[in-house]
Amino acid sequence: MLELRSLTKCYSSVPAIDNISFQVKPGEVLGCLGPNGSGKSTTVKIITGLLEPTRGEVLFRGKNIREDLAAHKRVIGYVPEEANLYPFLSGLEYLELTGRLRGLPGRVLSRRANTLLELFSMHPHRHTVISAYSKGMRQRILLIAALLHNPDLIIFDEPLSGLDVTSAMIFQKLVSELSREGKTIFYCSHVLEIVEKVCSHVAILRKGKQLAYGTVAELKQFQAMPSLEAAFAHLVQEVDAEQAARSIVDTVNA
């Protein structure tokens, strides 16, 4: 189980996140939602061990992850928002490097890497350098690298960025399958429709504060809203999208 306890991160005494607390059990998929600047990326970086919290703690399987960050990183899979890969390695070379760093035996690594490349339609491009890949191809390599070592905790940060329609559909099914396998999944996204489909629970952040946490059904019922999108807009007090769109068109036409 992943658990965040009173998590706070400050920069020059200004909190990026303030007193965030929730938990994700094995088999659950938690969707983390919020406008830009709400603290989602900061939360992800603390969960992955890239940032140290000012206060509070992150526990996985009941242990503070900072007691042994190397061990924590061995059991997580992480797909970052930005696909920053080694441009002069081929896709296969990058996966081999990632697998060796994770301690995978050679035969297991080779079998998994090549099979996953096939399943993600990347096998014909496995020897092509990453600098020649499209954004979607780089994203698929990141997804493969995150799953290669069969992690127990998987963090997706805007994972659909650059994926085509078919790959995005496969990804949705993949999240459901991983959940059934008992994986603990933390999912950051702006695509509310996908979050509503694949996530069992949702945490909503705004300006570093946690506004809500619960199941998708609970949030919709509590806010008396027909959809997660409507509940989200109500909670974060976003502008009326229809009115804003009409105003933009009127301004352009003026």
- Partners of 24 in beta bridges: 2
Summarize the confidence of residues 18-45 as an average pLDDT: 92
- What is the structure's pLDDT at 73? 87
Mean pLDDT, range 146-151, rounded to an integer? 94
pLDDT of residue 161: 81
d(CA 104, CA 99): 5
CA distance 27 to 182: 4
For the ranges 3-7, 228-232, 240-244, the lowest mean pLDDT is seen at 240-244
Residues 31-59, mean pLDDT to the nearest whole number: 92
- Please tell me what DSSP assigns to residue 131: G
Give a three-class secondary structure readout of 25-67. Answer: CCCCEEEEECCCCCCHHHHHHHHCCCCCCCEEEEEECCEEHHH
Residue 189 confidence (pLDDT): 84
Q: Which fold has domain 2-75+152-253?
A: Rossmann fold (3.40.50)
Residue 122 has pLDDT above 90, yes or no: yes
Buried b (16+ CB within 10 A) or exposed e, 56-73: bbbbbeeeebeeeeeebb
181 against 243, higher pLDDT: 181
What pLDDT does 219 receive? 76
Alpha-carbon distance 129 to 181, whole Å? 33
* Average pLDDT over all residues of the chain: 88
Please give the Cα distance from 218 to 214 (Å, whole number).
6
Give 253's pLDDT tier (boundaries 50, 70, 90): confident
Instruction: Give the containing element (helix H, strand E) for 219.
Output: helix 216-223
Bridge pairing between strands 29-33 and 14-24? unpaired
Q: Is 3 exposed, middle or buried (0-12, 13-18, 19+ CB in 10 A)?
A: middle
The candidate with the shortest Cα–Cα distance to 129, out of 94, 82, 163, 81, is 94
Cα-Cα end-to-end distance for the chain? 55
Cα gap 98→245, rounded to integer Å: 44
Picking from 61, 47, 46, the residue whose alpha carbon sits closest to that of residue 10 is: 46
pLDDT tens-digit readout, 177-231: 999 999 999 999 878 888 888 899 999 898 899 988 888 888 777 666 667 776 7
**Distance between CA atoms of 222 and 137, rounded to whole angstroms?**
40
The pLDDT, as a whole number, for residue 225 is 64
Q: Mean pLDDT throughout 106-126?
A: 94
* More confident site: 174 or 244: 174
The per-residue pLDDT for 223 is 63
Identify the pLDDT of residue 34.
Answer: 87
Q: How confident is the model at residue 83 (pLDDT cuts 50, 70, 90)?
A: confident
Q: What is the pLDDT of residue 30?
A: 95
pLDDT of residue 254: 67
Parse the chain into domains and list their residue ranges.
Answer: 2-75+152-253
